[in-house]
Structure 1
Amino acid sequence: MVIALVVSGFALAGAFRGGSQQASSTQSSSPEPAASTPAPSAAATPPASAQATPSAAPSPTASATPSCNQNLVTVSASTDKPAYGPAENPLLTLKVTNGGTVPCEVNIGTSQMEFLVTSGSDRVFSSKDCQASSEDLVKVIAPGASETANFPWSRTRSADGCKAVAAAPGGGGAYYIFTAKLGSRASPKAVFQLN
């Protein structure tokens, strides 16, 4: 699935790639024991409705599935190169991984994503600053699977509220830090250099 965001004239194309297991694992995301309630009432109803009850029998198996541990869903940040020449733009990658043993439902929409670039205490760029719209995209991530989104950063500055920024990030071998965020989760820092 491809998500497009317009950020102060720049198109943010985040291609989230995931497994085809999301449809089959969706049922395990609601481990409520709803099937145990109709079973006693089925015994008191006529035989016709009692025959409909066995079709709900697989549900208790699904309700016995352990719930997802959201603490095992992690976010990582990376760049396509460690250093960039004066005419090269960094490709920033946000990766969400389910490190648990059961499928996890995670909102990986643009409402949750942030690509943040800093240099020391200088907040250089955030994809949230000029985000035109934000959307939710809830996906079920299979155990051990990942979803990724790429952001080509055009080496520009941004400011909160999309205020105009005249200065550009410095080159000349300066180091920058990319942090990927998804909701309250933040990745370890990815360091890269602009020449």
Structure 2
Amino acid sequence: MSSVLHPVGPERRSIYWRRRLLALVLLLLLVVAAVLGLRALLPEDASEQAVARLDPSGVSPTLGAVAPSPSASGEPSASPSASPSTTTPAEPEPCESGDLELALTSRATTYGPDAAPRFVLTVRNVSGTTCTAEIGSGLRTFTVRDASGAQVWSSADCQSTGSSQVYELDPEGTRSMSTTWSRQRSAPGCPADQPAAEAGAYTVEGTWGEVAAEPLPISLTG
């Protein structure tokens, strides 16, 4: 024991203390290295592993559909992207006779010897709703009568085809049909040898289907 505390040798005592201190430091480093190596070989503590598994910072988010959150009443809330239901508007109904008003007009009230009278029928929707009307030569008729009421000319006598077309008429909407009278008399079947009408007073009538316009007076000069 005395040799440990009181080193004996040919060299100075301080040198022996330095050597022993160096040996002690090396021994401590060896012990620390052995402890660290043994710790690395042992498994981690179970509690530390559980904490690592529950740590949300180590969990990657999962991509996928997100279920809609329920409302306060327990019912699923509606998706904001849902489009509202649409309804197809109803088609307009055909016009009744009482829905329409017919007006007859003429380019002039008096026609000279070289002027051909021109007549216009205008159908007006006087109802409060849109309706459909079939308008064309197959439904409209112009008739000219003399002062005694005898028929002089009718567009129906020479009507070969009955062309027509269906139109939608809005409230107060109108459609017009016209014809020109050559001043020649007519007969059923449209014979070509009919004489011309004499100068005088005449009455023009216009009808569209079952609707009649107010008669229109005109006069022809010779």
TM-score (norm 1): 0.64
The higher radius of gyration belongs to 2
Change in Cα spacing, 1:142 to 1:194, as seen in structure 2 (3 Å) is: same
Aligned: 1:161 with 2:189: yes
CA distance in 2, matches of 1:71, 1:99: 8
**Which residue of structure 2 aligns with residue 92 of structure 1?**
119
**Which residue of structure 2 aligns with residue 149 of structure 1?**
177
Aligned: 1:182 with 2:213: no
- 8 Å Cα contact 1:70-1:104 kept in structure 2: no
Aligned: 1:102 with 2:133: no
- 8 Å Cα contact 2:100-2:125 kept in structure 1: yes
Change in Cα spacing, 1:113 to 1:68, as seen in structure 2 (3 Å) is: closer
Aligned: 1:191 with 2:217: yes
Unaligned runs of 5+ in 2: 1-81
**Which residue of structure 2 aligns with residue 136 of structure 1?**
164
Q: How big is the shift at 1:116?
A: 1.0
1:1-195 aligned at under 5 Å gives the runs: 54-55=85-86, 58-59=87-88, 62-63=89-90, 69-119=96-146, 120-171=148-199, 174-195=200-221
Could you say which structure has the higher strand fraction?
Answer: 1
- 8 Å Cα contact 1:75-1:94 kept in structure 2: yes
CA distance in 2, matches of 1:188, 1:148: 15
Change in Cα spacing, 1:177 to 1:155, as seen in structure 2 (3 Å) is: same
Task: Tell me the secondary structure at the aligned position of residue 54 of structure 1.
Answer: coil
Q: CA RMSD in A?
A: 2.6
TM-score (norm 2): 0.56
Paired positions, count: 139
CA distance in 2, matches of 1:81, 1:144: 25
**Which residue of structure 2 aligns with residue 30 of structure 1?**
none
Q: How big is the shift at 1:109?
A: 1.8
Task: Tell me the secondary structure at the aligned position of residue 122 of structure 2.
Answer: strand
Q: How big is the shift at 1:84?
A: 0.9
Q: How big is the shift at 1:52?
A: 10
Higher relative contact order (CA 8 A, sep 6+): 1
CA distance in 1, matches of 2:101, 2:189: 28
- 8 Å Cα contact 2:106-2:118 kept in structure 1: yes
Unaligned runs of 5+ in 1: 1-50
Change in Cα spacing, 1:103 to 1:152, as seen in structure 2 (3 Å) is: same
- 8 Å Cα contact 2:184-2:194 kept in structure 1: no
The 4+ residue runs of structure 1 with deviation greater than 6 A are none
CA deviation map 1:163-187 (0-9, x unaligned): 345322111xx11111111111111
CA distance in 2, matches of 1:83, 1:161: 29
